[in-house]
Structure formats: structure tokens, C-alpha cells
A = this chain, B = another copy of it.
Amino acid sequence: MTVFTFIEILGTLAFAISGIRLASAKRFDWFGAYVVGFTTAIGGGTLRDLMLSLTPFWMLDATYAVVTAFALGIVIALGRYLIRLNNTFFIFDAIGLGLFTVVGIEKTLAAGFPLWVAVIMGTITGAAGGVLRDILINEEPLIFRKEIYALACVFGGVVFWICEMAGIRGGALQIATAASVIAARIVAVHYRLRLPVLK
């Protein structure tokens, strides 16, 4: 297992657990919680793949469905003790967000689209799963009102752009992009940075 795969599993786990926990707050049953967790984990990438005319990534590799089942088991087994792990999950979630953004950008460029489309697709890959989660549990999307979230993906996209123009390629480019998304999230939550609200 490569480091990349390990990080992807951590991110999938964090996304799935966030969906399962919110579903449980709505008193969904185990199956409903699994569906919400799975949608949170794979929803953004699925939307991206459909728009790129590709087969959704999770249909080619059972890992994501299995990791979501594992996430359900964790929430069932640990229940309210999970609250103590909130900081851990926040870090996992930020790491997942950074990685998913990089995957989204690179897959879009590989499909032949320009960079501005890739930045949008990176943001969709990272953030749309959470929006679909909130639609399923019938709540207003959280990421449109709380600390900067999807904008961290856009920021990562801009960093990718600058790094690429500066001649940075390969692993260094990936790490710089993901790290800037993760850093943006940590800074945003630490200082409670929010965007202005329209009136």
C-alpha cells in the first residue's frame, strides 16, 4: 500500500464518518446512515467523473464501499465516545479534502480540460460530497455558512496553478497543493474565518 492509498483511505473514512454521524443525529437507520456516509465520501468524485464522461471511480475499486462499511462499524461501536476524537477527525477531513482536490485537478487535466475547469472540478471533488450529504439529511448545506471550506479547495487550485507556472511538477506539485488546502482549513477553523454574508 502506497502512502497515497493510505491517505485516500483516511480521507474516505473521515468523510464517511461525518456523513454517518449527521445521519444518526436525524435518527436514520443503519442502511440510511451507510448511504449518507457513502454519498459524502464518493459524491464529489462521482459528480466530477460524470461530468468528465468517466466511469465513477468507486465502481472500479471496492475499497470505498468497504471503508464506508468500516466507518459505520466504528460509529456503531464507539458511539458517543467519538466526540473525544473530533480533533482527529478534523485533521483526517482536512487531509482528505486536500488529497481529493489534487485528484480532482489532475484527473480533469488528464481528460484534456483547461486549468480553470480543473480548479472547479478539484473543488467539486473535495466539497460536493458534503453538499449532497446535507441534501440527503434535508439540511441547508453547512459549507455555505460555516468556516471557509470549499474556498480552501479553490485556494489549493490557485496554488497548483502558480506552482505549475513556476515549473514545479509531480509529487512536489501534489504535496504543495494538498498542503495549502490543509493549511487553509486549519487556519480558517483556528481563527474562525468566515466569508461575508449577503443581506
Contacts and interface: CB of A to CB of B under 8 A. Distances in A.
Contact of A51 (B50, B131, B144): B50
A133 to B, nearest CB: 12
B137 A79 contact: no
Q: 9 nearest interchain CB pairs?
A: A32-B144, A24-B198, A29-B195, A28-B144, A138-B140, A30-B195, A59-B117, A27-B197, A33-B198
25 contacts: A23-B198, A24-B198, A24-B199, A26-B140, A27-B145, A27-B197, A28-B144, A28-B145, A29-B144, A29-B196, A29-B198, A31-B148, A31-B151, A32-B144, A32-B145, A33-B198, A35-B131, A50-B51, A51-B55, A59-B113, A59-B117, A65-B120, A75-B198, A80-B199, A136-B141
Interface of A: 20, 23-24, 26-33, 35-36, 46, 50-51, 53, 55-56, 59, 62, 65, 75-76, 79-80, 113, 116-117, 120, 131, 135-141, 143-145, 148, 150-151, 194-199
